[in-house]
């Protein structure tokens, strides 16, 4: 715990100096041995959280700190913007609706609304979605570059949830290509019998797919598919535009 507190204090000090700070001054301000200060700085520098000017040798916060902040802000923006959209869709169709984001090559549910009656299937915030069978994950992973897609699929264990669950990389790749072609993902009882799902991709200001919105459907598909898919696409487009995406 002491090392964590020292690291936090060090980064707080670095944030106060726009032009950086020398290791001796930093060590004195933190009341830490020079060797300890150097060790912490070296570890943070290797991860990109600290930068050292090659000429002055002064230390400052690195780009990875900004990356973390941007991710945090983007996720908060997505949840805040998406909340009324989730609520409207859940109310209209009487089903559970949730939003997921991709982080470190994992797709995670970050918010949900459940206005459904007798909904036995429940998605918890923080749940990781498997890319080979969850509509929410397919809708995001399908639009990543090939290296990321291959990396994600290679890590999957391909657990056979139902008879409809894909079991090979080739099947998943074919499914993801279909998602790109039609613009949305569909889960046909691949995670649980009697449960289907539709998910559509959400883009950030740079046009990169960073999230998805998903609606769960109990029983066989009971709604006009064209209307539901259109509503889901409109929801994703609205959230994307709110995040700064311009088509």
Q: How far apart are CA 64 and CA 47, in angstroms?
A: 8
pLDDT tens-digit profile, the chain (247 residues): 578 899 999 999 999 888 899 999 999 999 999 999 999 999 999 999 999 998 999 999 988 888 887 777 667 688 889 999 999 999 998 889 999 999 888 898 988 888 876 666 667 788 888 888 899 999 999 999 999 888 888 888 888 888 888 888 888 889 999 999 999 999 888 888 888 899 999 999 889 999 999 999 876 655 557 889 999 999 999 999 998 888 7
Domains of the chain and any CATH numbers:
2-61 (1.10.10.10), 81-242 (3.30.450.40)
What is the reported pLDDT for 89?
93
Report residue 165 as tokens: 């669950």
What is the reported pLDDT for 195?
86
Do residues 185 and 179 lie in contact, with contact meaning Cβ atoms separated by under 8 Å? yes
Q: How far apart are CA 218 and CA 195, in angstroms?
A: 5
Q: Smallest Cα–Cα separation from 232: which of 106, 90, 127, 36?
A: 90
- Identify the H or E element spanning 238: helix 225-242
């Amino acid at each position: 715990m002491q090392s964590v507190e020292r690291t936090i204090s060090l980064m707080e000090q670095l944030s106060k100096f726009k032009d950086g700070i020398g290791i001796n001054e930093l060590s004195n301000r933190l009341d830490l041995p020079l060797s300890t200060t150097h060790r912490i700085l070296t570890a943070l520098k290797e991860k990109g959280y600290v930068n050292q000017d090659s000429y002055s040798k002064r230390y400052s916060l690195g780009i990875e700190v900004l990356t973390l902040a941007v991710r945090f802000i983007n996720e908060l923006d997505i949840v805040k913007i998406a909340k009324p959209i989730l609520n409207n869709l859940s109310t209209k169709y009487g089903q559970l609706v949730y939003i997921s984001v991709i982080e470190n090559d994992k797709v995670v549910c970050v918010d949900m609304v459940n206005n459904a009656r007798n909904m036995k299937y429940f998605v918890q915030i923080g749940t990781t979605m498997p890319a080979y069978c969850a509509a929410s994950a397919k809708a995001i992973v399908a639009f990543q570059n090939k290296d990321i897609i291959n990396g994600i699929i290679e890590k999957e264990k391909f657990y056979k949830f139902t008879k409809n669950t894909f079991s090979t990389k080739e099947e998943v790749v074919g499914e993801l290509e279909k998602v790109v072609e039609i613009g949305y993902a569909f889960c046909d009882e691949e995670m649980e019998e009697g449960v289907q799902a539709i998910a559509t991709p959400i883009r950030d200001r740079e046009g990169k797919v960073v999230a998805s919105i998903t609606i769960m459907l109990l029983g066989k598909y009971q709604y006009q598919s064209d209307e539901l898919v259109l509503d889901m696409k409109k929801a994703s487009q609205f959230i994307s535009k709110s995040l700064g995406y311009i088509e």
